Amino acid sequence: MNKPLSEMNRDELVAEIIKLRKPATWVVNSYGELGVYAGGEYQFLYKGDSIVYNHKDADLKFRPVQKREFGETCTVHDHVTDGLYTDGDGWEPLPMSKFIAHMADDLEDAISFYNLPGVCYAIVEALRDGNVSKAEHMFTQNRDKFDRQDQFWCQRLTGFFSEAQHPTAL
Per-residue pLDDT of 22-31, as tens digits, reads 677 888 887 7
Contact between 67 and 58 under an 8 Å Cβ cutoff? The reply is: no
Contact between 85 and 92 under an 8 Å Cβ cutoff? The reply is: no
| pLDDT score for 76 | 58
Strand order across the beta sheet in which 34-38 lies: 49-51, 41-46, 34-38, 25-29, 62-64
User: What's the pTM value of the predicted model, to 2 decimals?
Assistant: 0.46
The rounded distance, in Å, linking the Cα atoms of 107 and 102 is: 9
Q: Closest Cα partner for 138 from 155, 121, 153, 150? A: 121
| pLDDT score for 168 | 44
pLDDT per residue as tens digits for the range 92-104: 655 566 778 888 8
As a whole number, mean pLDDT of residues 97-112 equals: 84
The rounded distance, in Å, linking the Cα atoms of 115 and 147 is: 10
Q: Residue 116: is its pLDDT beyond 80?
A: yes
Q: Best-predicted range by mean pLDDT among 3-7, 54-58, 109-113?
A: 109-113
Q: What is the mean pLDDT of the chain?
A: 76
Q: Residue 9: is its pLDDT beyond 70?
A: yes
pLDDT bracket for residue 133 (50, 70, 90) = confident
